[in-house]
Amino acid sequence: MKKDFLFILLGSDENAYGIARSYYELFKTNAYSLCSRRLPTSYNSKILDIKIIKNFDIEKVCIENLLKIGTNLKERYKKLILVPCSDHYMEICIKNKNILSSIYENKFIDYTLLEKFVTKDKFYTLCEKYNLKYPKTIICTYEERNNIEKKINFNYPIVLKPNNSNSQDYLSASFKGKKKVYIVSSEEELKEIIKNINTSTYKDNLIIQEYISGDDTCDYVINAYSNSHGKVVFMGLGHVLLEEYHPKTYGNYAVIVSHIGYHSLFNKIKNFLESIEYKGFSNFDFKYDAKRKEFYIFEINYRQGRSSFFIEAAGTSMVGLIYNDLVLDKTNEKVTYLSKKILWLNVPSCIAKKYITNSESLKEVKYLLKNKQATHTLIYKKDMCLKRLIHIVKIYLSKILQFKDYFIKK
């Protein structure tokens, strides 16, 4: 007799591990993962069954294997659900949604919709249409790079970043001083950074923005899930207290506290998502400008993010949202929100205590730690053995060294 369903994760990073943990908590069984290599965050895991496929991150290889493996699995499972855990895998699935739909239950968005927000310049055009405030922005084309400083009409420091820091074009580019995001203090520094970028294969647009003042505690993230009918059924807000500072992970969240309320902001995002008929997980990065008393949006991520496990810890099952939608086909259009405060960390707690300087935020962190209302995606007692523990300790020790070497006080 066929089993009802199987979730197939694409990737083996921290995002994939968080989904696997959510899956195990809900169903007490392992998720299945396909990837090109096993990453350290999933080393020695007992809750994630991984199949390594050579060159799986190449679109043709990925789709061929998804069709072949899916066809075989359909003999044992009634429904197969794909959970892409990176922008790259998600884009591949969206591009090939019609081919995959014969085997998998997913209702991916159309590629024409993805093209409207996949890069920051296109996303800001949508922001204009739906009245979402974003920082003053200049789009720098490849041809404009050497003279772009003449177009900047706001004060330094400024922010410089690629059009899409998660695109294969940028990830594969190699050059001196490469970062996901640059905080640029002068025109001379801007010219030097662009000079370095020009030595690489990256030819796409660069984004130059005004710097919204404030430390990491001014950052916020909204996580949402839109069902296969295009209706938002879940929204949760995280107050970011600390980011990561290593050049390769700069801007990734290190410490988050889940928050309750903020419904006026939720309503704007809900209207946006439903207006464009979005489906699946999304998350939005914001910064709050205390002087103007405004939230400024930076980007949309068209999947669950690495830090999305904070919603799991705050009481909403990530896998449960997918299961209710794609397996049970629940059509309840009532939006649920987080109702529990939790501290999520992607670093040792000693880093949070040392580098969060906002007194109120630090007080909140210490309170949540003391009252055992804190969680780490990778630290899971039900999936811990000596070998895995050693790998997690290595990861966390490296983060202590990274903060020591790269932390910048804003």
How far apart CA 410 and CA 46 sit, in angstroms, is 40
79 confidence band (pLDDT: 50, 70, 90): very high
404 confidence band (pLDDT: 50, 70, 90): very high
In this structure, the answer to whether residues 238 and 369 fall within a common structural domain is: yes
Does a structural domain hold residue 74?
yes
In this structure, the answer to whether residues 344 and 383 fall within a common structural domain is: yes
Does a structural domain hold residue 118?
no
Query: Residue range 272-296: average pLDDT?
Result: 95
Predicted pLDDT of residue 284: 97
Task: Quote the longest CA-to-CA distance of the chain.
Answer: 69
Helix ranges restricted to H, 323-376: 349-355, 359-370
Q: What is the pLDDT of residues 339-372, one digit of tens each?
A: 899 999 999 999 999 999 999 999 999 999 999 9
* CATH classification of the domain holding 18: 3.40.50.720
Does a structural domain hold residue 128?
no
In this structure, the answer to whether residues 199 and 223 fall within a common structural domain is: no
Residue 368, both tokens: 């949540």
Residue 387 amino acid letter: K
SS3 category, 370: helix
Predicted pLDDT of residue 251: 84
Distance between first and last Cα of the chain: 59
Q: Which of 163-172, 185-194, 299-308, 361-370 has the lowest mean pLDDT?
A: 163-172
Q: What is the pLDDT of residues 210-220, one digit of tens each?
A: 999 899 999 99
Q: What is the pLDDT of residues 330-348, one digit of tens each?
A: 887 789 999 899 999 999 9
Q: What is the pLDDT of residues 11-35, one digit of tens each?
A: 999 999 999 999 999 999 999 999 9
DSSP assignment string, 206-238: EEEEEPPPS-GGGEEEEEEEE-TTS-EEEEEEE
DSSP assignment string, 173-186: ---TT--SSEEE-S
Q: Which of 5-9, 214-218, 406-410 has the lowest mean pLDDT?
A: 406-410
In this structure, the answer to whether residues 82 and 143 fall within a common structural domain is: no
How far apart CA 25 and CA 44 sit, in angstroms, is 18
Query: Residue range 139-161: average pLDDT?
Result: 92
Say what the pTM is: 0.92
In this structure, the answer to whether residues 367 and 232 fall within a common structural domain is: yes
120 confidence band (pLDDT: 50, 70, 90): confident
Q: What is the pLDDT of residues 375-390, one digit of tens each?
A: 999 999 999 999 999 9
* CATH classification of the domain holding 175: 3.30.1490
In this structure, the answer to whether residues 286 and 258 fall within a common structural domain is: yes
Nearest 10 degrees: CA dihedral of 213, 257, 308, 395? 90
Residue 208, both tokens: 């130059």
pLDDT at 166 over 80: no
* Closest to 50 (Cα-Cα) out of 63, 69, 36, 64: 36
81 confidence band (pLDDT: 50, 70, 90): very high
List Cβ neighbours of 26 (8 Å cut-off, separation of 6 or more): 317, 319, 320, 323
In 290-302, which positions are buried (b, 16+ CB within 10 angstroms) versus exposed (e)?
A: eeeeebbbbbbbb
Give the phi and the psi of residue 7 in degrees, each rounded to 5.
Answer: -95, 135
What distances in angstroms separate CA 248 from CA 58, 148, 400, 405, one per listed residue? Answer: 22, 25, 15, 13
Answer with the one of 210, 242, 273 that is the final residue of a domain: 210
List Cβ neighbours of 171 (8 Å cut-off, separation of 6 or more): none
Query: Residue range 302-312: average pLDDT?
Result: 95
Q: What is the pLDDT of residues 185-214, one digit of tens each?
A: 999 999 999 999 999 999 999 999 999 989
Does a structural domain hold residue 271?
yes
Q: What size, in residues, is the chain?
A: 410
Does a structural domain hold residue 246?
yes
- Containing structural domain, residue 163: 136-210
Provide the domain count of the chain.
3
In this structure, the answer to whether residues 146 and 104 fall within a common structural domain is: no
* CATH classification of the domain holding 400: 3.30.470.20
In this structure, the answer to whether residues 103 and 151 fall within a common structural domain is: no
Strand-by-strand arrangement of the 182-184 sheet: 137-140, 206-210, 158-162, 182-184
Answer with the one of 190, 210, 230 that is the final residue of a domain: 210
Q: Which of 92-96, 118-122, 339-343 has the lowest mean pLDDT?
A: 118-122
**Beta carbons of 281 and 275 less than 8 angstroms apart:** no
In this structure, the answer to whether residues 256 and 392 fall within a common structural domain is: yes
409 confidence band (pLDDT: 50, 70, 90): confident
Answer with the one of 178, 194, 210 that is the final residue of a domain: 210
